[in-house]
Copies of this chain bind each other. A is one copy, B any other.
Amino acid sequence: MMDLLTRREEIILLSVWKLKDGAYGMSIKDHVSQVTGKKWLFGSIYTPLEKLLEKGYLISEKGEPTPERGGRAKVFFILTGEGLDALKNLQKIYEFLWDDIPALEVR
């Protein structure tokens, strides 16, 4: 073990996928905070993003600055084929792990 995605890598990768062409640091931070119901800070976003770039699961692309007052240029992130494969691999493992756990669904 274990070349599986870490928890944060999983959550961030899925967020990038969901946000499509609008995935950059801040929007990812907001999205994962909303989804998980907890407040995420910068460090918890940019560090794994960096790692995901290294692994080739994401690529980044410098965007234009916002035309509003203030607004440093965003860095957008896009899921690669390898990133998608990593998610598929995880999904397959989840099938085995979570399948046949009926008692959890009753509440």
List A residues at the B interface (Cβ < 8 Å): 1-8, 10-11, 14, 17-18, 35-41, 44, 84, 87-88, 91, 93-94, 96-98, 100-101, 103-105, 107
Contact = CB atoms under 8 A, between A and B. Distances in A.
Contact of A36 (B4, B17, B40, B100): B4
Contacts of A5: 7
A93 B1 contact: no
B4 A6 contact: no
B104 A98 contact: no
Q: Does more than half of chain A's interface fall in helix, strand or loop, or is it mixed?
A: helix
A46 to B, nearest CB: 14
A35 B87 contact: no
Contacts of A104: 84, 87-88, 91
B7 A97 contact: no
Nearest to A91: B104
